[in-house]
Amino acid sequence: MSSAHDQTLFHGAFTALVTPFARPDAATVDLGRLAQHIRFQAEGGVRGVVPCGTTGESPTLSDAEHRAVVEKTIEIATPLDLKVIAGAGSNNTAHAVELHRFAHDTGADGSLQVTPYYNKPSQAGLYRHFMAIADSCPLPIVLYNIPGRTSVALTLETIEQLASHPNIIAIKEATGDVGFAAMVHERTDLTILSGDDPLTLPLSSIGAAGVISVLSNLLPKRVAALCDAIAADDWNLAREIHEDVLPLARALLTLDTNPVVVKTAMKLLGRDSGLLRLPLTEPPSIVVESISRALAPYELHHQPAPS
- Residue 100 to residue 193: CA distance in whole angstroms: 20
Burial class (CB in 10 A: 0-12, 13-18, 19+), 73: buried
Whether 72 is catalytic: no
Contact 164, 3 (CB under 8 A): yes
- Please tell me whether residue 193 adopts helix, strand or coil conformation: strand
Q: Which entry of 72, 83, 117, 144 is annotated as an active-site residue?
A: 144
| CA angle 138–99–33, rounded 5-degree value | 115
Residue 166 DSSP symbol? T
Contact 27, 225 (CB under 8 A): no
State the amino acid at position 211 in one-letter form: V
Q: Which entry of 83, 117, 120, 172 is annotated as an active-site residue?
A: 172
Contact 55, 262 (CB under 8 A): yes
Whether 298 is catalytic: no
Full 3-state SS string of 202-271? HHHCCCCCEEEECHHHCCHHHHHHHHHHHHCCCHHHHHHHHHHHHHHHHHHHHCCCCCHHHHHHHHHCCC
Catalytic residues: 144, 172
